[in-house]
């Protein structure tokens, strides 16, 4: 609940220019589910569960690594702009 | 990894991990906050990535985690795929990329729930609440997974951008949704019923396809934003399944952020979310409103003519749209703008909030082409200026400049805020054909007296315009 409220506070002021990077950045954070994947893949006992966990890690890592890198690439271009203006 | 620590530390470990999680959450919030302003956005993103890293490392010290083969293999494979995809992708394909990453995130949450369900050999060890969160995690995660892939396909053009509908589709979807909720209930009461589990999984995957298929390509940005929100909620549900606070909080954060962003986007198009999801908006079937009496002749123009008009104008406004992105024409556009500025023409860019396939998509593209940030104007800022503008170059944009939205109450896009380009002395539309845009609505601007059409691929057209401008020197 609190987190939702904080989320609302954070987003409601963002200019449209940054919606794409923001969406992509928030998307990367949703890859936080990697932590759940770690817990499932890291416990011994059921081999099949570990394989599912492995798949979950692959999926989540794609989300996290790809998401943050792509966002960084986008934002890098805004940055370049700022330097030139100075 | 906890066994590497001294025994005295080990006993405090769970509390330490919780504390670190709290720190990571704080970093996420701070990171998202910094993402909200152009100057700090990049550091905000890096901060969020750092928060993620801290969270992952802390989790590795969890005493439940004892086997690392699968973890290392998974991280290596996933990182490699994610990194290569992120490096290779063209800036114009950004929306697709976000869609597909998001799909993987949702899929991962569903898998976490599935893994947890499989791992516990005696399902009766689960409480009812556990089973319900497992069910919800699978439901929302699977919808996100298949839905995102359909959205990706629609943006890429593998799947028709038109709404794909069949009679009674909304009813079928509603029944399927109720069905999945029923199955979750069944699972909660009867945790050993493997049938309920698989039915739930299957229907949820199907539901993702069915709910996104009927949505027109023009609405994909909203869908992606909504699916992004879903993947956050799915992560939060997975957090309940494995009892992990960091997951619950961050998931809720992303879920809320996604919902608000979705809402902002809907407002920019003057539509409700319900209308986007169930309206099957944007096909030939949606009609063009009352037929207009204007004569339907279009005035075609040549690069030389456009060059002359622009070169001797005082003020030129450029309105870019998705066509610019498709043609990868942002660099040539910048070249043309530079040539005009050298001649003393005032050049500005007017950006509609939903131009392109994602809000801010055009800003990213133009930033890539080194267009100065202060030349980009939002719709509200630029609209009063069209009256005093000599030439408006509309490049691959259509629906966002369609005056029908202001004049025809019968039109599906009536009420959507549009750029008032019709108030300028002259509009020149760069477009491949006369076909209506993604929303499938005819545009009377094409036939207006003050409008000229410049047919062709945006990049080729701009290149010939650039040459024509050179010849004027």
Q: Three-state SS string across chain B, please? A: CHHHCCHHHHCCHHHHHHHHHHHHHHHHHHHHHHHCCCCCHHHHHHHHHHHHHHHHHHHHCCCCCCCCHHHHHHHHHHHHHHHHHHHHCCHHHHHHHHHHHHHHHHHHHHHHHHHHHHHCCCHHHCCHHHHHHHHHHHHHHHHHHHHHHHHHHHHHCCCCCCCCCCCCHHHHHHHHHHHHHHHHHHHHHCCCCHHHHHHHHHHHHHHHHHHHCCCCHHHHHHHHHHHHHHHHHHHHHHHHHHCCHHHHHHHHHHHHHHHHHHHHHHHHCCCCHHHHHHCCCCCHHHCCCCCCCCCCCCCECCHHHHHHHHHCCCEEEEEECHHHHHHCCHHHHHHHHHHHHHCCCEEEEEECCCCCCCCCHHHHHHHHCCCCHHHEEEHHHHHHHHHHCCEEEEECCCHHHCCHHHHCCCCCCCCCCCCCHHHCCEEEEEECCCCCCCCCCCCHHHHCCCEEEEECCHHHHHHHHHHHHHHHC
The CA distance from A83 to the nearest CA of chain B, in Å, is: 11
Q: Is B234 on the interface with A (CB under 8 A)?
A: yes
Using one digit for the tens of pLDDT, what is the confidence trace for B398-456?
778 888 777 777 676 777 778 888 888 888 888 877 766 556 677 788 888 788 888 88
Contact list, A86 vs chain B (CB under 8 Å):
none
Using one digit for the tens of pLDDT, what is the confidence trace for B310-364?
888 888 898 888 778 777 788 888 888 888 888 888 888 888 877 766 667 787 7
Q: List the single residue in A31, A39, A78 with the smallest CB-CB distance to B65.
A: A39
Contact list, A14 vs chain B (CB under 8 Å):
35-36
If you count DSSP H runs as helices and E runs as strands, how many of each does chain A have, helices first? 5, 0
Which tokens go with B265? 């986007």
Catalytic residues of B: 399
**DSSP code of residue A41:** H
Q: List the single residue in A46, A64, A75 with the smallest CB-CB distance to B52.
A: A64
Q: List the single residue in A4, A18, A76 with the smallest CB-CB distance to B256.
A: A4
Q: List the single residue in A1, A12, A33 with the smallest CB-CB distance to B260.
A: A12
Residues 290-349 of B with CB under 8 A from A: none
- Assign A85 to helix, strand or coil: helix
Which tokens go with B428? 């020149």
Choose the mutation target among B51, B57, B111 for the interface with A, i.e. most A CBs under 10 Å: B111
Nearest residue of A to residue B25, measured between CA atoms = A3
Model-level ipTM above the cut of 0.90: no
Look at B119 and A51 and tell me if their CB atoms are within 8 Å: no
Residue-wise pLDDT tens for chain B (473 aa)?
A: 666 777 777 777 888 888 898 898 889 888 888 887 777 888 888 998 999 999 998 888 887 887 888 888 889 998 999 898 888 887 777 778 888 999 999 999 999 999 888 887 676 777 888 888 999 999 999 999 999 999 888 877 777 767 777 777 778 888 888 999 999 888 888 888 888 889 999 999 999 998 888 887 667 778 888 898 999 999 999 888 888 888 888 888 888 888 888 887 777 766 777 777 776 554 333 333 333 444 567 788 888 888 888 888 888 898 888 778 777 788 888 888 888 888 888 888 888 877 766 667 787 778 878 888 788 888 888 888 888 888 888 887 877 888 877 777 767 677 777 888 888 888 888 887 776 655 667 778 888 878 888 888 888 888 888 888 888 77
Q: Report pTM.
A: 0.74
**What is the pLDDT at residue B136?**
92
Q: Say how many residues make up chain A.
A: 86
Look at B107 and A59 and tell me if their CB atoms are within 8 Å: yes
Distance CA A67, CA A26 (A): 9
Q: Is B81 on the interface with A (CB under 8 A)?
A: yes
Contact list, B25 vs chain A (CB under 8 Å):
3
Residues 48-77 of A with CB under 8 A from B: 48-77
């Amino acid at each position: 609940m609190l987190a939702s409220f904080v989320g609302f506070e954070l987003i409601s002021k963002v200019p449209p220019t940054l919606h794409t990077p923001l969406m992509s950045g928030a998307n990367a954070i949703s890859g936080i589910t990697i932590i759940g994947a770690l817990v499932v893949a890291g416990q011994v006992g059921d081999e099949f569960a570990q394989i599912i966990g492995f798949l979950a890690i692959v999926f989540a890592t794609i989300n996290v690594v790809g998401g943050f890198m792509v966002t960084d690439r986008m934002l890098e271009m805004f940055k370049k702009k700022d330097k030139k203006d100075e | 990894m906890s066994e590497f620590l001294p025994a005295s530390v080990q006993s405090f470990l769970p509390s330490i991990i919780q504390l670190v999680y709290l720190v990571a959450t704080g970093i996420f919030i701070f990171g998202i906050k910094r993402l909200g302003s152009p100057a700090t956005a990049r550091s905000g993103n890096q901060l969020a990535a750092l928060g993620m890293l801290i969270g992952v490392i802390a989790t590795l010290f969890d005493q439940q985690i004892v086997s690392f083969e699968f973890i290392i293999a998974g991280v290596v494979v996933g990182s490699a795929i994610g990194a290569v995809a992120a490096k290779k992708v063209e800036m114009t394909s950004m929306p697709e990329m976000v869609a597909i990453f998001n799909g993987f995130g949702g899929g991962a949450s569903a898998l976490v729930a599935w893994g947890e369900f499989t791992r516990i050999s005696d399902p009766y060890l689960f409480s009812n609440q556990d089973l319900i969160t497992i069910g919800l995690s699978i439901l929302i995660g699977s919808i996100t997974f298949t839905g995102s892939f359909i959205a990706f396909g629609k943006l890429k053009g593998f799947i028709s951008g038109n709404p794909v509908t069949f009679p009674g589709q909304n009813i079928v979807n509603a029944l399927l949704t109720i069905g999945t909720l029923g199955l979750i209930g069944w699972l909660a009461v009867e945790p050993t019923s493997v049938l309920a589990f698989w039915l739930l999984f299957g229907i949820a995957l199907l539901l993702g396809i069915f709910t996104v298929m009927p949505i027109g390509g023009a609405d994909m940005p909203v869908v992606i934003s909504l699916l992004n929100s879903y993947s956050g909620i799915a992560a939060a549900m997975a957090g309940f399944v494995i009892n992990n606070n960091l997951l619950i909080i961050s998931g809720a954060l992303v879920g809320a952020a996604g919902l608000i962003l979705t809402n902002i986007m809907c407002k920019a198009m003057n539509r409700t979310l319900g209308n986007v999801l169930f309206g099957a908006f944007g096909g030939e079937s949606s009609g063009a409103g009352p037929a207009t009496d204007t004569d339907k002749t279009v005035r075609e123009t040549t690069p030389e003519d456009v060059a002359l008009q622009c070169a001797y104008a005082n003020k030129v406004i450029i309105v870019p749209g998705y066509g610019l992105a498709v043609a990868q024409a942002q660099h040539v556009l910048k070249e043309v703008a530079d040539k005009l500025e050298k001649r003393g023409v005032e050049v500005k860019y007017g950006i509609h909030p939903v131009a392109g396939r994602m809000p801010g998509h055009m800003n990213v593209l133009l930033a890539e082409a080194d267009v100065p940030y202060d030349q980009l104007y939002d719709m509200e800022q630029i609209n009063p200026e069209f009256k005093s503008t000599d030439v408006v170059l509309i490049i691959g944009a259509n629906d966002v400049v369609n005056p029908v939205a202001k004049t025809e109450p019968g039109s599906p896009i009536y009420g959507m805020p549009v750029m008032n380009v019709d108030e300028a002395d002259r509009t020149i539309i760069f477009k491949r054909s006369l076909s209506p845009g993604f929303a499938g609505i005819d545009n009377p601007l094409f036939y207006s007296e003050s409008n000229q059409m410049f047919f062709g691929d945006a990049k080729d057209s701009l290149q010939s315009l650039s040459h024509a401008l050179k010849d004027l020197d």
